[in-house]
Structure 1
Amino acid sequence: MRVAVCQLNAREDRAANLAAAGELLEKAAASGADLAILPEYLDYLGPGAGAPKPEGTDGEFAGFFAAAARSLGMWVLAGSFHETGPDAERTYNTSLVFDRAGALAATYRKIHLYDVEIPGRVSYHESRSVAPGTETVVVDVEGVPVGLSICYDLRFPELYRRLAVAGAQVLVVPAAFMTHTGRDHWEVLLRARAIENQCYVLAAGQIGDHEPGRTCFGRSMVVDPWGTVVAQAPDTIGVTVADIDLERLAAIRQELPSLANRRL
């Protein structure tokens, strides 16, 4: 399976964001990708007051990427978007997966939300505007079980172990990691999740500045089950491609059977 991680700089212009994502998907398809992954919140990154009206999984956002998957004949993981939530105050942060025919194959709502309170320094509660998902999701992509996650989920290894136990051989991480944490934690965490679960990890990140005064780290990458970074994006918008070797995955799991040897 050939995979592509697409690195994007989404901002306040939703139409421009979707158009840019569409161009990246075209490049991914031209490179022969079977599956392309886009970053978190590719529909909008900007001040909360300007966020687009949330919509369902059958709305304009879904329609755009369903059409792209169908026209390009490629599986598409449409990063994440602001889905209509359980109440008027909160949305879901939701990933959609479309098959080559443009059919919706899986929906995943981000489970872990970033709430932090440091007196005199920072007060941020993602849970005030975003509702947590409750279901882990593994989707079959032409015989390859793919486990879904989003950004902050990366810091919770129990989620990925649950996905691996459910059969996942590939783990995907659409993200918008900030620069100050990304430079120290991004690659370390991705490689850890790959090693401990003996899975490929595909991480597609936002890159560059967006309001209000934030900068995303980028460095989208593909990590193999040994923890080796087999492909990494440069610090710019673009598409990075790698081939997943399922025989290598099987050999690693056989020769170092830590996943099979677990007792908890």
Structure 2
Amino acid sequence: MKIAVVQLTSGPDILNNLALAKQKLREAAGQGARLVVFPEATSQAFDSGRLDEQAQELDGEFATGLRDTARELGVTVVAGMFRPADTVEREGKKINRVYNTALITGPDIHRGYDKIHTFDAYSYRESDTVRPGEELVTFDVEGVTVGVATCYDIRFPEQFRDLARKGAQVIVVPTSWMDGPGKLDQWRILTAARALDSTSWIVAAGQARPGGEEKAGEATGPTGIGHSCVVGPMGRREAEAGYEPEILTHDLDLEQVTKARESLPVL
């Protein structure tokens, strides 16, 4: 199965981001991809304004816009967006929280996965503005079962094992990773480790690094570090982007999953 990983830099406006995503989707489909994976926060970049003001349900303009283009092209798409969730009180203020949702859409599907593990780390509290999800999600593309996780989820091995036990041979991971000392090393280790834990293909799409390679290594919020990647079920890095916007394509050999699970029966 041929997949594409779209590494881009989204901005503050949901309609501009939709237009960019549709353009990149056409480019990826033109390269033969059957599954196209976009980053977390494709609909609106983190640290670009209140998420609740542009949050939309799956019948909103962002999700249906990608759905219509995906169906026209005959491909399945995964892309990060935000949906309305609930209202909570934090330090005397009422906050309208959102779900951090990975939209899954295409010819035969239109649903979402809500990020389970919110990024409450490195002095950042995603749970203040994002309500955690509760349900694991898998879907099928041309007979291949695909699992979904988002960014910080990658630090939790059992989620990936459980997705594999539910039949996932490929796990897609939309991401907007934080840059800073040691963060790229952690990203590379974690993506390889989750592939080995689950003996699955890991297809991780990240936000490009704002400012590009010139800003590489500087500490930032979770706005992107680039380095989207495709990792095989035995932990080998088959493709990796740099810091800048880029589209990676790769043919996933599903027989590698079968062989990995026979020789390394960790599940």
State TM-score, norm by structure 2.
0.88
| 1:117-159 deviation line (CA, Å, top 9, x unaligned) | xxxxx74321111100010111122211111110010111111
Aligned runs of 1:90-169 on 2, under 5 Å? 90-99=97-106, 101=107, 103-104=109-110, 106-116=111-121, 123-169=123-169
Are residues 185 and 63 of structure 1, via their aligned partners in 2, closer, same or farther at CA, if it must alter by over 3 Å? same
Q: Is the 8 A contact 1:67 1:102 kept in 2?
A: no
Could you tell me the percent identity over the aligned residues?
Answer: 40
Give the aligned residue type for 2:137.
V
Aligned runs of 1:1-264 on 2, under 5 Å? 1-47=1-47, 49-51=49-51, 52-78=53-79, 80-87=80-87, 89-99=96-106, 101=107, 103-104=109-110, 106-116=111-121, 123-180=123-180, 182-209=183-210, 214=221, 215-259=223-267
- After TM superposition, the structure 1 stretch with the greater mean CA deviation from structure 2, 147-156 or 230-239, is 230-239
Structure 2: gaps (5+ residues): 88-94, 212-219
Counterpart secondary structure, 1:29: helix
Q: Determine the C-alpha separation between the residues in 2 that align with 1:237 and 1:155.
A: 25
Q: Determine the C-alpha separation between the residues in 2 that align with 1:63 and 1:22.
A: 11
- For residue 46 of structure 1, report the CA deviation from its aligned partner: 4.5
Counterpart secondary structure, 2:71: helix
Q: Determine the C-alpha separation between the residues in 2 that align with 1:70 and 1:49.
A: 31
Are residues 176 and 166 of structure 1, via their aligned partners in 2, closer, same or farther at CA, if it must alter by over 3 Å? same
| 1:39-95 deviation line (CA, Å, top 9, x unaligned) | 0001111446444431111111111110110121111112x1110113362100001
- For residue 113 of structure 1, report the CA deviation from its aligned partner: 1.0
- For residue 253 of structure 1, report the CA deviation from its aligned partner: 1.5
Q: Determine the C-alpha separation between the residues in 2 that align with 1:123 and 1:243.
A: 39
Q: Give 4+ residue runs of structure 1 displaced > 3 Å after superposition.
A: 46-52
Q: Determine the C-alpha separation between the residues in 1 that align with 2:169 and 2:49.
A: 39
Q: Is the 8 A contact 2:14 2:62 kept in 1?
A: no
In angstroms, what is the RMSD of aligned CA positions? 1.9
Residue 92 of structure 2: aligned partner? none
Counterpart secondary structure, 1:93: strand
Are residues 247 and 123 of structure 1, via their aligned partners in 2, closer, same or farther at CA, if it must alter by over 3 Å? closer
Q: Determine the C-alpha separation between the residues in 2 that align with 1:2 and 1:182.
A: 29
Q: Determine the C-alpha separation between the residues in 2 that align with 1:50 and 1:163.
A: 32
Count of residues paired in the alignment: 250
Give the aligned residue type for 1:184.
D
Structure 1: gaps (5+ residues): 117-121, 260-264
Q: Is the 8 A contact 1:89 1:128 kept in 2?
A: no
Residue 90 of structure 2: aligned partner? none
- After TM superposition, the structure 1 stretch with the greater mean CA deviation from structure 2, 43-52 or 1-10, is 43-52
Q: Is the 8 A contact 1:69 1:102 kept in 2?
A: no
Counterpart secondary structure, 1:90: strand
Residue 119 of structure 1: aligned partner? none
Are residues 103 and 168 of structure 1, via their aligned partners in 2, closer, same or farther at CA, if it must alter by over 3 Å? closer
